[in-house]
Structure 1
């Protein structure tokens, strides 16, 4: 039976191993909380990080396949290769909004696991493509399969970690992306040196990576939790502690399986959401082109096809270095998230300027430029931590995440169109478009920072300081499933 308190706080007791009264009555020691945090880090972060590693590895496979005669075998010409990248993001875009609804309505862990299993199968289907048209169909459905992953991991991070802990944890599972950039070329190089395979190398690559991904989806189905109350690796008492730890977030750790349309409207009228969306769009004008054409650009610097794969590895190294520095800065330096994102983006602008302006004969200098040009990509986990920390209400957060990734898709669709086939392999128009997108990204980030400062000061003047609140009041705010604009004590993290 659902009682009055259950409805008030947004979840039903039968779905949990404890109730509101138990949670309020129990007291946990710092050591017990640290033990729960260690368990979460030991299980959740590797699960999400490995999935994100596979996602970006699979995404890179198309670019790497161009060095193994994919375009020639499928008789692709002109701008067709650009569209194979764009159609992936059309699929991503198509499924982003339905996915934001499904994540709220159905068990999130199971939904994400099924998505991983299906996208692995779709990647294997790439090996059966015999024409540009069939490749376009496979790429579209691959985008559909991958659309839920990053928004879903963002919501899970918000469920299990405090606002102060989120930047490092978002960066930790995003670390899988950096590892994929670092060792993905090495994996492709190894596959490329298999001489006894009865099929083309690019087909073998899709089959191997797809099989690994689908198998991992089965692992996620067993281990990835739907909420703190469903984490099989925590005891009932530890699940209660996991919820208690995040009370001060006021962003919602639980939902009642109902999509709240009022929160969707709140998301659509919230200035912070639109600044985040515009930043996502402009920064991904760069991402779409650089990710899709990095192998061709690198080969254009004068490297052989297989060596061009290995020369992409420093990009992963640069991302790892800046990711560690940025996540630590965001954790230990107050109000530094948005400033860190601005600085990372400026580094990438400098890298693109090097590619654009250096003499084509300066192979080393232009490789340094390409290595620095990808640093902006590590802003993604920081922007996701902004969503989990500063947007309250489970439905609002899911809508905001969907909008963010819709903008991500549109940027990745538009960006490659500036990389003109007639300008291969230097693509000056594409490089300038990517650089312009990053400059606009800096502008929108500064707008977001200004809005947060203004709104926090306005709330302090209206409602006073939110510091002195009882545990019961914190619990009521946290489990009320209200939005950040409905909670008077909510303050935005910078």
Structure 2
């Protein structure tokens, strides 16, 4: 396809030519209005406030429910789940890990479906299904039933974080994305705080007709499915379909993100050439390897935190409340590092390295502190989960540094596949005979975090080298007109193909 002539500044744009480049989802945008609407800083701030007011609570609430539901399997062990289902040996380990097999298996079809289907409707349907899978947990009678329920729960949850990363890229500029990714990720930290209280409350409900672990899954599943229905009517598929914005505000929302050049309007058609570009891209594999390594820690801590805490000497129900400071530690470091990354240029990857190193210190405390020092070991467990604050920063790297909607969804799928593999492998190092200290699991988590820091350093060096190479070849990127920016947005090009594209660190 020949390169199109770019209109000079001040020339009326050829809107029909632009429309020919647009895909089905992009045709929902009135390009004439996008280019011609007159905006002021105050109008843009008003649109941004509306986006924050509606989108962030919707995504944050959903992500909170996702992590509460993920913690439920660990909390259920304190309500005799293992005894009631006659789990022996490493069967609980595999019941925890099989969730990520479902997550991994669906991440690939999901990367295709988020491009082909209306994004908001697809995600709300996924939430509804995952809530139903959680309800099914209450009907499990043995290990086989639990394995099936866990697998399909992973299928239901697989689309959520990558989908929210795409929505953030659609509605926010590259500079705004770290703070917004962190804002909806707050739900993760709040989930640890509230999840313990919810489980503690359920633990104090005494009924003879149903076990407490069954009640836990029934309540959480019903709430999640109801939330999926709410999302169906409120979560937009694109800026052009945001029901909380008027016609002019939708045009401004599109116009604000044109400089991203990341192809958020290029939905509706899956481009296999961009899949190949994603696989050949070094940044893809540095992100994938980092994600794989650090999730050796995540898989173990998420599934075994309740057991580890009882091993510190805390009573069963008290152990549920003792989990709450873990969420507090995540929240503090999330605010500090994402706030710093939003204000200080070229600091996202450095902040990710800081969080990962803090988690390494936490693992060392759990491993080396004396068994009678409960406060020291609990401090280590709180710090050991801090690396989870990197998730919004790593997602912001994808939304800011990967152009082309298909390429972006492919990189997200590969990264979340690595997330699943790490979470599958991690629990296998927590050997049942070593309960509750799990020294092998703790050392495996430490090693994974160390390798994570190494791959982050490689990613940083790659971005610096690539930006300098592009400056040598093309010169410093110039300021583009809105028409040129819109053509870049609809050009179906990736970050490697757009000469003015530079990576954010």
TM over 0.5: yes
Shift of 1:10: 4.0
Q: 1:15-94 maps to which residues of 2 (within 5 A)?
A: 15-16=28-29, 18=30, 20-94=31-105
Structure 2 runs not aligned, ≥5 long: 1-14
Counterpart Cα distance in 2 of 1:374 and 1:21:
48
Match of 1:259 in 2: 270
Aligned mate of 1:218, from 221, 229, 241: 229
Match of 2:314 in 1: 303
Counterpart Cα distance in 1 of 2:457 and 2:282:
13
- Alignment partner of 1:153 is 2:164: yes
Contact 1:185 1:309 in 2 (8 A): yes
CA 1:76/1:13 → structure 2, altered by over 3 Å: closer, same or farther?
closer
Counterpart Cα distance in 2 of 1:13 and 1:280:
32
Match of 1:450 in 2: 461
- Alignment partner of 1:380 is 2:391: yes
Q: 1:195-234 maps to which residues of 2 (within 5 A)?
A: 195-196=206-207, 198-234=209-245
CA 1:86/1:355 → structure 2, altered by over 3 Å: closer, same or farther?
same
Shift of 1:255: 2.2
SS in 1 for 2:346: coil
Counterpart Cα distance in 1 of 2:468 and 2:402:
18
Q: 1:399-410 maps to which residues of 2 (within 5 A)?
A: 399-410=410-421
Counterpart Cα distance in 2 of 1:182 and 1:350:
22
SS in 1 for 2:266: coil
SS in 2 for 1:96: helix
Aligned mate of 1:475, from 453, 470, 486: 486
CA 1:461/1:145 → structure 2, altered by over 3 Å: closer, same or farther?
same
Contact 1:11 1:254 in 2 (8 A): no
Match of 1:6 in 2: 19
1:309-353 alpha-carbon deviations (Å, 9 max, x no partner): 111110000011000111110100010000000000000000000
Counterpart Cα distance in 1 of 2:88 and 2:364:
29
1:337-392 alpha-carbon deviations (Å, 9 max, x no partner): 00000000000000000000011111110000001000001101100000000000
Q: Which moved more, 1:66-75 or 1:189-198?
A: 189-198
TM-score w.r.t. the length of structure 1 is: 0.98
Counterpart Cα distance in 1 of 2:310 and 2:462:
43
Q: How many residues align?
A: 491
Counterpart Cα distance in 2 of 1:458 and 1:197:
69
CA 1:256/1:76 → structure 2, altered by over 3 Å: closer, same or farther?
closer
Counterpart Cα distance in 2 of 1:327 and 1:223:
27
Counterpart Cα distance in 1 of 2:452 and 2:208:
45
Counterpart Cα distance in 2 of 1:343 and 1:79:
34
Shift of 1:14: 5.3
Counterpart Cα distance in 2 of 1:75 and 1:484:
52
Q: 1:177-326 maps to which residues of 2 (within 5 A)?
A: 177-196=188-207, 198-326=209-337
Shift of 1:11: 4.8
Counterpart Cα distance in 1 of 2:18 and 2:287:
35
Match of 1:132 in 2: 143
RMSD between aligned alpha carbons? Answer: 1.1
Shift of 1:492: 0.1
Match of 2:119 in 1: 108
Shift of 1:12: 6.5
Shift of 1:467: 3.4
SS in 2 for 1:297: helix
CA 1:482/1:78 → structure 2, altered by over 3 Å: closer, same or farther?
same
SS in 1 for 2:496: coil
SS in 1 for 2:501: coil
Contact 2:18 2:487 in 1 (8 A): no
Counterpart Cα distance in 1 of 2:202 and 2:427:
27
Aligned mate of 1:459, from 459, 470, 481: 470
Counterpart Cα distance in 2 of 1:133 and 1:196:
26
SS in 2 for 1:128: coil
Shift of 1:226: 0.4
TM-score w.r.t. the length of structure 2 is: 0.96
1:278-297 alpha-carbon deviations (Å, 9 max, x no partner): 00100101100111000000
Contact 1:10 1:481 in 2 (8 A): no
Shift of 1:483: 0.5
Counterpart Cα distance in 1 of 2:170 and 2:228:
21
Contact 1:10 1:480 in 2 (8 A): no
Q: Which moved more, 1:466-475 or 1:447-456?
A: 466-475
